Structures are given as structure tokens and as C-alpha cells.
Amino acid sequence: MSALASRQTVTEATRSEAVSAPMQAQASFDLLVVFRLVGQCFGLMASNVREIINISTTTRVPNTAAHIEGVVNLRGRIVPVFNLQRKLALQQADSHQPAALPEPEEQEAGSHPRRTVMVVEEDGALCGLLVEEVTDVVKISAESVNTAASRIERPGSGYVLGTVTLEGGRLATLLSLEALLAD
């Protein structure tokens, strides 16, 4: 093989790597939906989040677990709504009781306050997750997830996948949707 032919082969290989490198970098990133509960940041993979809605009321269902708010009619589909704060047993920092999600002030007499619900999909089923506020959608890489927090949560729950450092040094706890909806 001549020096010219070998130089062309190396150049072509280098171009190929240069073109595929950004594609590989893009493929290794995922989007994370960041939300707040009791003043802390949490995140779910955006691939599971279908939409974010505001609701005013849910229809209570008798004899259900404490973390189930009720159901809502979402364009003809009945969707259960889970209170994540209760499900995760989150408490205010200065209290031993779970704090209630803040409810915005009513604007008109007789109107119901609006609350934020992330509609998620797991195995084709829709569920709503009641949160304080959705704050951001950020790009993360698998390498940026620190799994130390998953080792200190209550054994058997499996809700925590790890933590991710957000802009400004804030931490977000990455949750497993599958584990949250499993029981």
C-alpha cells in the first residue's frame, strides 16, 4: 500500500470517527424531568413523562392506600393520581410528620386550587404523580448518576436510583418509576 493510499485510509477513518463521535455523545445522554417535593429536587427520566397538567380536584376512591389521591378524567381516560410526598414518606426538615403539599390560594370563591401532576406511562398504563412543582428538564449522562444514595434508602423499596448534580451544585434524587408504581 502506498503512503498516499494509507494516508487516505487514515483520513477517512478519522473523518468517520469525527462524524460518529457527536452521535455517540448524543446517544449517551438522557433527559431528566426535575421536580420539587418538600423543597427538595427529584427527577424522573423524561422518556416516562407524557405531560404535565394542572388539576383542581380528584375523585377519591374508597378503601385505597394513603398515598393515592384519587382518579382524574384525562381526555376520556381514567388516570389514578399518586401523592409522591406521601408515597416517599417525605417530611419537612423540622417535623416528624409528612408535610402537606402546599395548595395555592383560591382565586375565586368556590373555585378549587390548581395542583401540578406529572402524567407518566409505565408498561402502557398512565398514572399521575402529584408534585409541588416541575422546575426543569435537563440533559444527563449515565456517568453523571451517583448511586451512593440508593444504598442508604430503606431496604426493599428500590425507589432511588441515585443522585445527579444539577447546575449550581444542587442535587436531584433520581427515582425509579417502575419501583414507585410497583406496589
The CATH number assigned to the domain holding 71 equals 2.40.50.180
22 occurs within a structural domain: no
Task: Name the DSSP class of 132.
Answer: S
Look at residue 44 in the predicted model and tell me its pLDDT.
96
Number of domains in the chain: 1
Q: What is the pTM of this model?
A: 0.73
34 occurs within a structural domain: yes
15 occurs within a structural domain: no
pLDDT tens for each residue of 134-171 = 999 999 988 889 988 878 867 667 899 999 999 888 99
46 occurs within a structural domain: yes
Containing structural domain, residue 146:
29-103+110-182
